[in-house]
């Protein structure tokens, strides 16, 4: 099916665009009352993730309500550890909790490389339903967590300010760490390929906890596994978003990916100098800008686009939307980008 709006894919491939495409991380849910209405009917967040019809419904909401140029499938990065045999719970206001963790060779024996079609088929089904319902209006983005970020949750057992348990394992048990990271990488490649086969037009890797590692550790325990994933995915453009990894921009420039997502701690001009024009850049407005009045949102958004330039660029935030941002303020951001044609 031909896409009616292919701005995102053209920008990702470095082709000419009339204006930058715009979408937002965490656009599916959180800020939208319509999402909360769906969520309130269910026992928990995981039920929403694993019910394809409902996941598709909330995936499409921001396309209808915010006017973004792409949908991103509603799911969670932690479906991978669950598929590997390490289930999680999502606690309100506390986030994910893993009742069991991986901290020894013995623990490693209890998990496996995920088989995407049998373990994660509900995500593929959600993608198929979403694609049918979108009818080619906009592209659909698939995603997964980057291996180190998934490793951090599987070893720490929850979110953390320091992830000191996860980092302790890197220092004390590097061999165990590499084994687990390889299992996560193999699971993720299969998972992303399944998403692409189901209809994802572009895939993004989220390395949410990249910034807790030193540059040397990142080169050892994160980049080689991200590189494996980039090398394995040839079917669609790949985006890497590594929060806090400003120190790795020159390494990202060497990866076989199309797009590099940036957080708000990086100056657009600095990123462009380090990465060059071979890659498309994505980002990087501070989500808190959207708490400001409309005039400020417009001014800051225009300033951001001027710094990045309209080509080889995808407009986005430097991280996900926060739940208490007003939908009208999000629309102001989206409409400002769309007015730049």
Contact between residue 230 and residue 265 where contact means Cβ atoms under 8 Å apart: no
DSSP result, 48-81: HHT-HHHHHHHHHHHHHHH--S-EE----TTHHH
Contact between residue 139 and residue 202 where contact means Cβ atoms under 8 Å apart: yes
Which 3 state secondary structure label does DSSP give 251? Answer: helix
**The tokens of 76 are what?**
């969670």
End-to-end CA distance of the chain: 25
User: Residue 203 and residue 196: Cα distance in Å, rounded?
Assistant: 8
H/E element, 118 = helix 116-119
- Supply the residues annotated as catalytic: 26, 30, 39, 76, 153
User: Residue 334 and residue 340: Cα distance in Å, rounded?
Assistant: 10
């Amino acid at each position: 099916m031909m896409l009616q709006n292919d701005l995102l894919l053209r920008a990702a491939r470095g082709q000419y665009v009339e204006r930058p495409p715009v979408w937002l991380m965490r656009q599916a849910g959180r800020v939208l009352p319509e999402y909360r209405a769906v969520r309130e009917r269910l026992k928990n967040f995981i039920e929403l993730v694993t019910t394809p019809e409902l996941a598709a419904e909330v995936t499409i909401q921001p396309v209808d309500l915010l006017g973004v140029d792409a949908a991103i499938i509603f799911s969670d990065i932690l479906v991978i550890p669950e598929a590997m045999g390490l289930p999680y719970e999502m606690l309100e206001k506390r986030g994910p909790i893993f009742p069991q963790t991986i901290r020894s060779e013995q623990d490693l024996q209890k998990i496996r490389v995920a088989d995407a079609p049998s373990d994660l088929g509900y995500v593929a089904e959600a993608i198929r339903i979403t694609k049918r319902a979108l009818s080619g209006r906009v592209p659909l983005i698939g995603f997964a967590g980057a291996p180190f970020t998934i490793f951090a949750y599987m070893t720490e057992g929850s979110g953390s300010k320091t992830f000191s348990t996860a980092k302790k394992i890197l220092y004390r048990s590097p061999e165990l760490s590499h084994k687990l990271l390889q299992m996560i990488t193999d699971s993720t490649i299969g998972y992303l390929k399944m998403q692409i086969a189901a209809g994802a037009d572009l895939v993004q890797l989220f390395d949410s906890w990249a910034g807790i590692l030193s540059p040397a550790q990142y080169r050892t325990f994160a980049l080689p596994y991200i590189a494996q994933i980039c090398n394995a995915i040839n079917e669609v453009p790949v985006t890497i978003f590594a929060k806090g990894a400003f120190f790795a921009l020159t390494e990202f420039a060497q990866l076989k990916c199309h797009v590099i997502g940036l957080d708000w701690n990086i100056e657009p001009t600095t990123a462009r100098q380090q990465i060059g024009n071979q890659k498309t850049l994505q980002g990087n407005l501070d989500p808190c800008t959207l708490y400001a009045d409309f005039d400020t949102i417009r001014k800051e958004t225009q300033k951001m686009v001027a710094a990045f330039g309209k080509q080889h660029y995808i407009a986005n935030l430097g991280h996900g939307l926060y739940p208490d941002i007003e939908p009208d303020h999000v629309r102001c951001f989206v409409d400002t980008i769309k007015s730049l044609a």
